[in-house]
């Protein structure tokens, strides 16, 4: 009885620890549900959807699996070899035998290293392919969302989906899955090898397995929560950054730096403490497993040592010093994969969490989709009709109320009215950026909901108030989706809309670099570039939301002149602020609070002496004042 005393103490300590951890485990379970961290998609569903991306690379994965079997040979065979070497050194020392063992050992090591290298290369390549396919799908999906849907989603969140979350999934394919498999194989391989050496000692090592399993399950509960918090914190910071970096100028102008800094600090601290908690959880888990490892080594030395000294035989196996050395190594090889298995389960969880977030975005049904019987619109004359159109961005807050008008092909129609009267809204409805609630919008007599969206938008040239230039060159911004256009054509288009003078002044001409959002150009210059961009695509219908702010007189004259040319190209719908533009339009529609209150030519409306006349007088007085 006295001989088992140390074992009883060890068992008691481990049992006590387990009890404490089980108690902690039960408390965290309740809290987890209260915070609502539970995912909605089942793991099986996620696996099924991820599998779709892995399937085209099945061959690579099979190859990796086979190579992996070789690469684990080192872990399984080397301890036995070392045990044998130990026996050889101790017994009759034959150098040639020893050398052959060393050569075998080195051979296995080299094969294993080469296999590990190959495996990593293949996996990385495959992982990157999967990753880029996933990113592409996600990006294409985001592109298909309507303006309304995009407005409701923070940009930072989308960026996190496309970058961080897809990365977590690539980890799944390049690292996690293979290592999970590898560790499982190593564990079983090591158990097999140990059994061949000694049943009794193997059983002793296996006695520790339930405790490791217990610690692992508990650890997973804690760490999963920590992971979620870190993830949410990261998304939060990304969202905050992408918004505030874009608006940094405003923040500086309004002296909001301190306030924003405080907001950022709060988010930053939240992420920091989430990370701390995560590190803490790992900090507890690793030493726990290490403690078990040390305990098992002590047990091995105690039991194995006794068995060796007393030469105890168990089911035909005795314990030699070589067996003890091998077992000492096997215990390390047994505990390592178990410990990393637990951590890999965590990575797996985090990859699944990312997968769910990505698939949630992918599952958002685009609001504006082609009808099943949508037609391709080959050519367009340019007749537009609004028939009793009612539209609201949200609920029943009507922005357009029963709006009806007709535009004949080739006509220029100007919309005017006070800010918020619905001018921009009308223009974006024609391109079907939003769907209307009641009424019809017809192009050449066809309801736009019956036309394929891509085919519809192909015939439009939109020049919006807030011209968006992408980072790149002037040329790439003018061409956008168009390819194979020679510089002469680009120059011609620029000349037509008076953008040539602007471009000539630039040191690199068409190759001049455009910074993000076109920050290195003025509003007027951006508008001119957008004119060139529009006419090079030769649209039948042009839509122009005139820029009002920040335009110097010189550019204004250029814009004015090119506007008159644009009127001759095709149908032109224009939100006009300048008198001269308005005057030249075929028809003027005056909007107020989403309703058409006056419509007619400049002359007609002046004679009517209504709201348009008032606006006209107001602007004329201002012009006189300016000139005097
Ligand atoms: N994306 C949007 N979501 C909700 N309401 C909007 C949106 N865009 C515009 N509105 C609202 O619709 C009304 C008309 O806006 P808009 O057509 O831009 O006016 P205008 O161009 O004549 O100044 C305004 O009251 C505005 O607040
Ligand atoms: Mg507007």
Give the domain ranges of the chain: 20-362, 384-627
> What average pLDDT score do residues 96-112 get?
87
Residue, of 103 and 43, whose pLDDT is higher:
103
Percent of the chain clearing pLDDT 90 (strictly above): 23
Confidence of residue 3 (pLDDT cuts 50, 70, 90): low
pLDDT of residue 2: 47
- 459 within 8 A of 377, measured Cβ to Cβ: yes
Q: Tell me, using a 6 A CB cutoff, whether residue 470 lines ligand 1.
A: no
* pLDDT of 31 higher than 50: no
* pLDDT of 24 higher than 70: no
Residue 408: exposure state from Cβ atoms within 10 A (0-12, 13-18, ≥19): middle
Ligand 2 centre and the CA of 425: distance in Å?
7
Distance CA 185, CA 190 (A): 8
* pLDDT of 34 higher than 50: no
- Residue 206 phi/psi, 5° resolution? -65, -25
Q: Tell me, using a 6 A CB cutoff, whether residue 425 lines ligand 1.
A: yes
**Report field, pTM of the whole predicted structure over 0.75:** no
Q: Tell me, using a 6 A CB cutoff, whether residue 548 lines ligand 1.
A: no
pLDDT of residue 269: 95
* pLDDT of 97 higher than 70: yes
Distance CA 17, CA 404 (A): 77
Q: Tell me, using a 6 A CB cutoff, whether residue 400 lines ligand 1.
A: no
Mean of per-residue pLDDT scores for the chain: 85
Ligand 1 atom index nearest CA of 425: 17
- Mention every residue, 6+ apart, whose C-beta is less than 8 A from residue 68: 115, 119, 178, 181, 182, 185
> What average pLDDT score do residues 278-296 get?
86
Rounded to the nearest 10 degrees, the angle between the axes of helix 177-197 and helix 321-362 is 160
* pLDDT of 384 higher than 90: yes
* pLDDT of 6 higher than 70: no
Alpha carbon 369 to chain centroid, angstroms: 23
Residue, of 547 and 339, whose pLDDT is higher:
339
Count helices and strands (H / E) in the chain.
25, 14
pLDDT of residue 37: 39
Straight-line distance from the first to the last Cα atom of the chain, in angstroms, rounded to the nearest whole number: 115
pLDDT of residue 592: 93
* pLDDT of 271 higher than 90: yes
Strands 317-318 and 313-314: antiparallel
- 497 within 8 A of 509, measured Cβ to Cβ: no
Strand order of the sheet with strand 571-575? 460-463, 541-545, 571-575, 412-417, 587-592, 595-600
pLDDT one-digit tens code per residue, 113-135: 999 899 999 999 998 898 888 88
pLDDT of residue 548: 63
pLDDT of residue 25: 64
Rounded to the nearest 10 degrees, the angle between the axes of helix 95-144 and helix 43-54 is 100
pLDDT one-digit tens code per residue, 439-472: 999 999 999 999 998 888 888 888 887 788 888 8
Residue, of 11 and 505, whose pLDDT is higher:
505
> On the CB side of 86, how many CA atoms lie within 13 Å of its CA?
16
Q: Tell me, using a 6 A CB cutoff, whether residue 269 lines ligand 1.
A: no
| Range with the largest mean pLDDT of 326-340, 471-485, 573-587 | 326-340
Q: Considering only CA atoms, which residue is closest to atom 16 of ligand 1?
A: 422
Cα distances from 457 to residues 345, 365, 522, in angstroms, run 47, 20, 27
Ligand 1 centre and the CA of 188: distance in Å?
66
- Mention every residue, 6+ apart, whose C-beta is less than 8 A from residue 264: 237, 240, 244
Confidence of residue 406 (pLDDT cuts 50, 70, 90): very high
How would you classify residue 550: left for phi > 0, otherwise alpha for psi between -120 and 50, otherwise beta? Answer: left
214-245: buried (b, 16+ CB within 10 Å) or exposed (e) per residue?
A: bbbebbbbbbbbbbbbbbebbbbbbbbebebe
> What average pLDDT score do residues 393-419 get?
92
Q: Ligand 1 pocket check: which of 153, 390, 420 to mutate, most ligand atoms within 8 Å of Cβ?
A: 420
Distance CA 607, CA 219 (A): 82
Q: Which of the ligands is closest to the CA of residue 403?
A: 1
CATH of 384-627, one of 3.40.50.720, 3.40.50.300, 3.40.640.10, 3.10.180.10: 3.40.50.300
> What average pLDDT score do residues 8-31 get?
66
Alpha carbon 16 to chain centroid, angstroms: 45
Q: Tell me, using a 6 A CB cutoff, whether residue 6 lines ligand 1.
A: no
Q: Considering only CA atoms, which residue is closest to atom 10 of ligand 1?
A: 393
Q: What residue ranges in 450-586 does DSSP mark as E strands?
A: 460-463, 472-473, 513-514, 541-545, 571-575
Q: Considering only CA atoms, which residue is closest to atom 13 of ligand 1?
A: 420
Q: Considering only CA atoms, which residue is closest to atom 20 of ligand 1?
A: 420
Q: Which of the ligands is closest to the CA of residue 420?
A: 1
* pLDDT of 388 higher than 50: yes
> On the CB side of 377, how many CA atoms lie within 13 Å of its CA?
27
> What average pLDDT score do residues 241-257 get?
86
pLDDT of residue 418: 87
Q: Which of 146-155, 424-433, 493-502, 531-540 has the lowest mean pLDDT?
A: 146-155
- Mention every residue, 6+ apart, whose C-beta is less than 8 A from residue 274: 226, 229, 230, 232, 233
Q: Which of 5-14, 54-63, 434-443 has the lowest mean pLDDT?
A: 5-14
CATH 3.40.50.2300 fits 20-362, yes or no: no
Confidence of residue 29 (pLDDT cuts 50, 70, 90): low
> What average pLDDT score do residues 150-176 get?
82
Percent of the chain clearing pLDDT 70 (strictly above): 94
Ligand 1 centre and the CA of 603: distance in Å?
29
198-211: buried (b, 16+ CB within 10 Å) or exposed (e) per residue?
A: beebbebbeebeeb
Confidence of residue 270 (pLDDT cuts 50, 70, 90): very high
* pLDDT of 273 higher than 90: yes
Ligand 1 atom index nearest CA of 545: 21
Q: Considering only CA atoms, which residue is closest to atom 7 of ligand 1?
A: 393
Q: Tell me, using a 6 A CB cutoff, whether residue 421 lines ligand 1.
A: yes
Q: Tell me, using a 6 A CB cutoff, whether residue 393 lines ligand 1.
A: yes
Q: Tell me, using a 6 A CB cutoff, whether residue 466 lines ligand 1.
A: no
């Amino acid at each position: 009885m006295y001989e088992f005393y140390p074992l009883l103490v060890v068992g008691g300590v481990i049992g006590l620890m387990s009890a404490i951890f089980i108690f902690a485990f039960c408390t965290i379970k309740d809290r987890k549900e209260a915070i609502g961290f539970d995912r909605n998609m089942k793991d099986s569903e996620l696996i099924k959807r991820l599998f779709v991306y892995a399937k085209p690379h099945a061959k690579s994965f099979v190859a990796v699996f086979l190579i992996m079997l070789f690469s684990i040979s080192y872990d399984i065979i080397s301890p036995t070899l070392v045990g044998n070497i130990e026996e050889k050194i101790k017994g009759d020392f034959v150098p040639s035998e020893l050398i052959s063992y060393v050569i075998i050992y080195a051979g296995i090591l080299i094969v294993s290293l080469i296999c590990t290298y190959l495996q990593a290369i293949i996996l990385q390549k495959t992982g990157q392919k999967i990753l880029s396919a996933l990113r592409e799908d996600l990006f294409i999906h985001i592109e298909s969302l309507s303006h309304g849907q995009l407005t409701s989603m923070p940009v930072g969140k989308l960026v996190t989906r496309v970058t961080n979350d897809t990365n977590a999934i690539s980890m799944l394919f390049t690292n996690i899955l293979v290592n999970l498999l590898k560790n499982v194989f190593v564990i079983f391989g090591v158990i097999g090898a140990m059994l061949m050496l000694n049943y009794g000692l193997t059983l002793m090592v296996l006695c520790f397995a339930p405790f490791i399993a217990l610690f692992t399950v508990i650890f997973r509960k804690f760490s999963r929560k920590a992971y979620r918090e870190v993830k949410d914190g990261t998304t939060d910071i990304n969202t905050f950054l992408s918004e505030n970096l874009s608006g940094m100028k405003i923040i500086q102008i309004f002296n909001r730096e301190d306030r924003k800094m405080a907001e950022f600090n709060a988010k930053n601290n939240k992420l920091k403490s989430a990370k701390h908690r995560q590190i803490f959880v790992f900090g507890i888990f690793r030493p726990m497993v290490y403690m078990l490892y040390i305990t098992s080594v002590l047990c091995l030395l105690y039991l194995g040592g006794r068995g060796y000294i007393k030469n105890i035989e168990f089911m035909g196996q005795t314990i030699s010093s070589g067996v003890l050395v091998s077992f000492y190594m096997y215990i390390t090889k047994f505990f390592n994969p178990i410990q990393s298995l637990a951590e890999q389960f965590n990575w797996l969880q985090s990859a699944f969490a990312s997968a769910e977030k990505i698939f949630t975005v992918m599952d958002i049904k685009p609001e504006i989709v082609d009808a099943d019987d949508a037609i391709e619109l080959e050519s367009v004359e340019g007749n537009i009709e609004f028939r009793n159109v009612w539209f609201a961005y949200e609920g029943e807050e009507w922005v357009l109320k029963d709006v009806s008008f007709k535009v004949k092909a080739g006509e220029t129609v100007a919309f005017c009215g006070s800010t918020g009267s619905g001018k921009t809204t009308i223009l974006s409805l024609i391109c079907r950026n939003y769907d209307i609630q009641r009424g019809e919008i017809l192009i050449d007599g066809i309801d736009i909901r019956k036309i394929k969206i891509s085919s519809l938008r192909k015939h439009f040239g939109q020049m919006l108030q807030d011209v968006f230039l992408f980072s790149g060159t002037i040329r790439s911004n003018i061409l956008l989706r168009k390819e194979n256009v020679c510089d002469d054509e680009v120059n011609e288009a620029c000349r037509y809309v008076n953008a040539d003078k602007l471009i000539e002044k630039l040191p690199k001409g068409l190759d001049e670099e455009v910074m993000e959002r076109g920050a290195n150009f003025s509003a007027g210059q951006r508008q001119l570039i957008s004119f060139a961009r529009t006419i090079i695509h030769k649209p039948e219908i042009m839509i122009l939301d005139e820029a009002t702010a920040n335009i110097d007189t010189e550019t204004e004259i250029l814009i004015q002149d090119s506007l008159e040319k644009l009127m001759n190209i095709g149908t032109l719908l224009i939100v006009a602020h300048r008198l001269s533009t308005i005057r030249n339009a075929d028809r003027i529609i005056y909007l107020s609070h989403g309703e058409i209150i006056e419509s007619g030519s400049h002359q007609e409306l002046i004679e009517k002496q209504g709201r348009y006349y008032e606006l006209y007088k107001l602007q004329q007085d201002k012009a006189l004042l300016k000139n005097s």
